[in-house]
Amino acid sequence: MPLLEARHLSKHYGHAAPAVDDVSFALERGQTLGLVGESGSGKSTITRMVMGLIPPTAGVVLFDSIPLTGLPSRQMRQLRSRLQIVFQDPYAALNPRMRVFNIVTEPLVIHRACPRSELRTRAAELLRAAGLDESALPRFPHEFSGGQRQRINIARALALRPELIVLDEPLSSLDVSVAAQIANLLRDLQRQFSLTYLFISHSMPMVRYLSTHIAVLHRGRMVEYGDAQQICTAPREPYTQTLIAATPEIRIA
């Protein structure tokens, strides 16, 4: 049974062309589905629907067989601990007035998932998992580099031990070497915590490196869907071929 499933998703805004038009996919536990396409392809709209932030015009998103559309707020709040997100801009996603300790432990406090006496220990564990040490806890976001900020965002996403993490272009604002480090971290964390990823990106090399399956979006429609290696080595659709040709290869150690 898929952990995440989209069935015939569509999203219309007024009389304009649909932002998403009849998109379906399934994401099994422990796998990574890469959603790839240029700006305006519908990636962000699908992300919002998967997170339950906007309802689809048609179709349904199922998380562990539970339809997210029209879910009561109390039940949606309970699901939040199982479904987390890492955003594209690592600085904008962090409250500049909050110390790292408060940022990382905020989900634990909101969901009452950890005794207050154990918050510091738990925060230190989360930072270590993300590749930082506990000396970061009393500091503010502006004191860190872009890659370090993204590690803080990842630590926060791990706080509630989620089953699914939506990765909303988490590497696109980082330079190539730092992006490669974060990509390796994400792979390690997936194995360590048995995570499932929905990875949104416009970079075919990064999608190929992280994903088990790929869905290629173009103007709101899915034009190709299947095994990541097959799509990257022998794409059927001209649009997929263009995406691959337009993105330089990235060597990730």
The domain spans of the chain are: 94-161
Q: What is the pTM (predicted TM-score) of this model?
A: 0.94
The DSSP code sequence of 216-250 is EEETTEEEEEEEHHHHHHS--SHHHHHHHHHS---
Count of CB atoms within 10 A of residue 64's CB? 15
| Largest interatomic CA distance in the chain | 57
Q: Among positive and negative, which fits the CA dihedral 248, 249, 252, 253?
A: negative
Three-state DSSP at 100 gives helix
What pLDDT is stored for residue 187 in this prediction? Answer: 96
DSSP string, 153-218: HHHHHHTT--SEEEEESTTTTS-HHHHHHHHHHHHHHHHHHT-EEEEEES-HHHHHHH-SEEEEEE
- What is the residue-level pLDDT of the chain in tens, covering all 253 positions? 899 999 999 999 887 789 999 999 999 999 999 999 988 899 999 999 999 889 999 999 999 999 988 888 888 888 889 999 999 999 999 999 999 999 999 999 999 999 999 999 999 999 999 999 999 999 999 999 999 999 999 999 999 999 999 999 999 888 989 999 999 999 999 999 999 999 999 888 899 999 999 999 999 999 999 999 999 999 999 999 988 888 766 666 5
Q: For residue 200, give both structure tokens.
A: 């949104």
